[in-house]
Every structure is written in C-alpha cells, then in structure tokens.
C-alpha cells in the first residue's frame, strides 16, 4: 500500500504540489486525474524520489521514503510519460536489467520476457538498440520492463499514449490482472473512459491541490452531470 501524507513539493521557489494526501491500497488501481499542469507527473516523480518534498511523508508498505530509500525503491517501478531507455543497451538487455534489479528468478524472467515481447509484437526487435525503434516501440519496451517483476507498486504516467489499439488493450488487461494479484497501481491518463473502466478510485488535482477524491463510480456520475 502507498500512502502520501500532507506532501508538498517546491520546484525552484514555486510550490507545485500542495498538501496532498491519499492512499493506494494493495490490489487497487487509483487514477490521478487533472488538467495539463495540474501536478500529476510531479506527484509521480516525488513518489519516485526524483523531487524532494518540502513537507510530508511517503511510504510503501510502511517503508518510509526518507528512512530507508533503497528498500523503499525496490517496492516500485515507474513507467514515465516519455520512454527513458539507455542508448547502449539492446531491448533484451533492458529486460535483463529489470529482471536482475528486481531479482526475478531466471526461468520466470525468460518466460515472461518471451510472452510479453510476443504480446506487444516486438519479438523481432529484441537485439535492436533504442535508436532503431519507433517511439511506440520504445514505449512498449519501457512498459514490458515494468511488467516483468512482481512488485508492490506500479506508477504509470499516461500509459496508453503512443501505443496502438492492440497494445493499449493488452496493457489494460495486464494491469487489471496485476492489480487482481495484489499490485497497487497509480496511473495518470487523459483518456478518462479507459480510466473509468480500470480504476477503483480517483484523485483529482487542480493547481497542485486535491480538488476531489473518491470512488471511480462517483466520478462517472459527476462527469455525466458535467462537473468534471
Ligand atoms: N522541472 C520543472 N521546472 C519548473 N516547473 C516545472 C518543472 N516540472 C514541472 N513544472 C511545473 O509544475 C506544474 C505541474 O507540472 P506537471 O508536469 O506535474 O503537470 P501534469 O499534471 O503532469 O501535466 P500534463 O497533464 O500536461 O502532463 C506545471 O506548472 C509545470 O510548469
């Protein structure tokens, strides 16, 4: 379970995230919603430890981000909005890097890497370097890396952008399966219909503050009445 308590984040002198508190329970999918610039990615990056907190606490399964960062980091994987791959590693070497970092057992790694590469239709690109891939393919590689290990928390920024219809559909199904097996998932997306299909609850940010949070079913009612 992920918990944020009264988290504020400053970038330069500007307060970008203001007193944000929410939880993502084990096995649940929470949608982080908001207009461009609302602070969604900043919240994600702060959970990753890429931005310092001006105040507040973040923990995953009671492991405090500030007290034991290495154990904390092993509990999560992040799929950023822009794929971030290393130019000197092939597709398969990226998979290996993730498998090893999260200590995935060898046989399970091989099975999953093969299945996911086939599902996302990049089996013929395993020995290519990132520069030889399209943007959507790079995103698939990043996505597969994060799906390989079984980790308590997945953070996913705009997971469906740039993916073709089939890949987006497979990813949605896989994320729902992951959640059913106990993974907590926090995702941002401007594709509200997909979010409504997947998420159990939502947190809506406005100008860095929580404007609303609740069950996804309530969000559906609100949006139908034109309030969201
Ligand atoms: N590195 C940075 N330096 C200065 N300002 C930043 C930086 N990163 C983000 N911001 C500002 O923080 C605010 C929140 O940005 P953020 O990327 O978190 O929004 P978002 O909700 O993810 O938006 P989008 O839906 O467009 O991805 C914006 O006003 C943005 O300009």
CATH number for the domain that contains residue 53: 3.40.50.300
- Same-domain check for residues 100 and 128: yes
Whether the Cβ atoms of residue 65 and residue 58 lie closer than 8 Å to each other: yes
- CA–centroid distance, 196 to ligand 1, in Å, is 24
- Ligand 1 contacts CB of residue 37 (under 6 A): yes
Number of domains, the chain: 2
Q: Which residues pair with 46 in a beta bridge?
A: none
pTM of the model: 0.91
- Ligand 1 contacts CB of residue 80 (under 6 A): no
- Same-domain check for residues 171 and 216: yes
ipTM over 0.90: yes
- Same-domain check for residues 60 and 167: yes
Give the whole-angstrom CA distance, residue 162 versus residue 109. 26
Q: Among residues 16, 73, 64, 66, which one has the least CA distance to residue 42?
A: 16
Domain boundary among 122, 150, 178: 150
- Same-domain check for residues 122 and 181: no
- CA–centroid distance, 36 to ligand 1, in Å, is 8
- Same-domain check for residues 53 and 3: yes
- Ligand 1 contacts CB of residue 36 (under 6 A): yes
- Same-domain check for residues 69 and 40: yes
Counting from 1 in the atom list of ligand 1, the atom nearest the Cα of 45 is: 18
Q: Which of 15, 42, 45, 160 to mutate to test the pocket of ligand 1 (most atoms within 8 A of CB)?
A: 42
- Ligand 1 contacts CB of residue 38 (under 6 A): yes
Calculate Rg over the CA atoms of the chain: 17
Q: Which of 7, 13, 33, 40 to mutate to test the pocket of ligand 1 (most atoms within 8 A of CB)?
A: 40
- Same-domain check for residues 157 and 146: no
Atom 13, ligand 1: which residue's CA is nearest?
Answer: 37
Domain boundary among 111, 134, 150: 150
- Same-domain check for residues 2 and 69: yes
- Same-domain check for residues 169 and 140: no
Question: Distance of CA 210 to CAs 174, 194, 198, 206, Å?
Answer: 28, 21, 21, 6
- Same-domain check for residues 161 and 143: no
pLDDT score of 50: 93
Counting from 1 in the atom list of ligand 1, the atom nearest the Cα of 81 is: 27
Tens of pLDDT, residue by residue, the chain (228 residues): 999 999 999 999 999 999 999 999 999 999 999 999 999 999 999 999 999 999 999 999 999 999 999 999 999 999 888 888 999 999 999 999 999 999 999 999 999 999 999 999 999 999 999 999 999 999 999 999 999 999 999 999 988 888 899 999 999 999 999 999 999 999 998 888 889 999 999 999 999 999 999 999 887 666 655 544
Domain boundary among 150, 166, 188: 150
pLDDT score of 140: 94
- Same-domain check for residues 142 and 187: no
Task: Write out the residue range of the structural domain in which residue 51 sits.
Answer: 1-75+153-228
- Same-domain check for residues 163 and 212: yes
């Amino acid at each position: 379970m992920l918990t944020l308590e009264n988290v504020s984040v400053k970038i330069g002198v500007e307060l970008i995230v203001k007193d944000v508190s929410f939880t993502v329970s084990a096995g649940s999918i929470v949608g982080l919603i908001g207009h461009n610039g609302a602070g969604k990615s900043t919240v994600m990056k702060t959970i990753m430890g890429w931005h310092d907190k001006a105040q507040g606490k973040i923990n995953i399964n009671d492991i405090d981000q500030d007290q034991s960062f290495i154990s904390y980091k092993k509990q999560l994987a992040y799929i950023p909005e822009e794929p971030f791959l290393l130019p000197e590693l092939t597709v398969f070497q990226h998979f290996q890097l993730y498998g090893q970092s999260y200590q995935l057992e060898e046989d399970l790694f091989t099975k999953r890497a093969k299945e996911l590469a086939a599902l996302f239709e990049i089996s013929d690109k395993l020995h290519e370097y990132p520069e030889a891939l399209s943007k959507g393919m790079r995103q698939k590689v990043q996505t597969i890396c994060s799906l390989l290990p079984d980790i308590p928390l997945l953070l996913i920024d705009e997971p469906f952008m740039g993916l073709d219809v089939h890949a987006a559909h497979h990813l949605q199904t896989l994320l729902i399966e992951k959640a059913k097996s106990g993974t907590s998932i926090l995702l941002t997306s401007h594709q509200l219909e997909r979010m409504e299909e997947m998420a159990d609850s939502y947190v809506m940010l406005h100008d860095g503050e929580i404007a609303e949070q609740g069950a996804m079913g309530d969000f559906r009612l609100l949006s139908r009445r034109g309030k969201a």
